[in-house]
Amino acid sequence: MYLTKLLTLVDTLRAPAKASAHCDLPCGVYDPAQARIEAESIKAIVEKYNASDDQYFRDRATLIKEQRAEMVNHHLDILWYQYFQPTHLEKYPQLHEMFWSAKKLTSQVKRTNDTAVADQLLASIAQISDVFWETKK
């Protein structure tokens, strides 16, 4: 009994096994779908905003749209800073421009209720998603 407890304690105190991954966590936790879902929400909000004459509704829609744009920005930051690595940038040199454009569009959707801008944001996220999934092969 005493020996069993001692061996359990020794096992507990041993150094944990090291894990390695190209990102800060093993793959499978990152997905551009999070940014896409928020961008789809932005487009739906813009459409509802444009279809309404109720100023209270429009003010609330604007607030929610801006919050969703911040969430898109946050999810793009996570992908850019935590998932993509220098080796990805070597293989896909357009990545920097893709992220820069997408992040600029998140600012633009805050200032407009134009569905074309929301569509551009969705298209930009789709390009990033294509590269993301290519890197997962």
Mean pLDDT of the chain: 88
- Within 10 angstroms of residue 56's Cβ, the number of other Cβ atoms is 8
* Three-class DSSP category at 30: coil
Residue 98 inside a domain? The answer is yes
CATH number of the domain that residue 130 is part of = 1.20.120.400
Domain containing residue 116: 35-135
User: For 22, which DSSP code?
Assistant: S
Residue 7 inside a domain? The answer is no
Mean pLDDT, to the nearest integer, of 102-121? 97
- CA gyration radius for the chain? 22
Residue 12 inside a domain? The answer is no
Number of domains in the chain: 1
Q: What is the pLDDT of residue 7?
A: 62
Residue 29 inside a domain? The answer is no
Residue 42 inside a domain? The answer is yes
Residue 9 inside a domain? The answer is no
Burial 22-32 (b: 16+ CB within 10 A, else e): ebeeeeeebbb
Tokens of 123: 């298209």
Residue for token digits 């820069």?
100
Per cent of the chain over pLDDT 70 is: 80
Residue 21 inside a domain? The answer is no
* Three-class DSSP category at 3: helix
Q: Kindly write down the DSSP assignment for every residue of 34-89, as one continuous string.
A: HHHHHHHHHHHHHHHHHH---HHHHHHHHHHHHHHHHHHHHHHHHIIIII--HHHH
**Which amino acid type is present at position 27?**
C
Lowest mean pLDDT among 17-21, 28-32, 79-83, 118-122: 17-21
pLDDT digits (tens, 9 = 90+) for 43-102: 999 999 999 999 999 999 999 999 999 999 999 999 999 899 999 999 999 999 999 999
Q: How far apart are CA 83 and CA 59, in angstroms?
A: 36
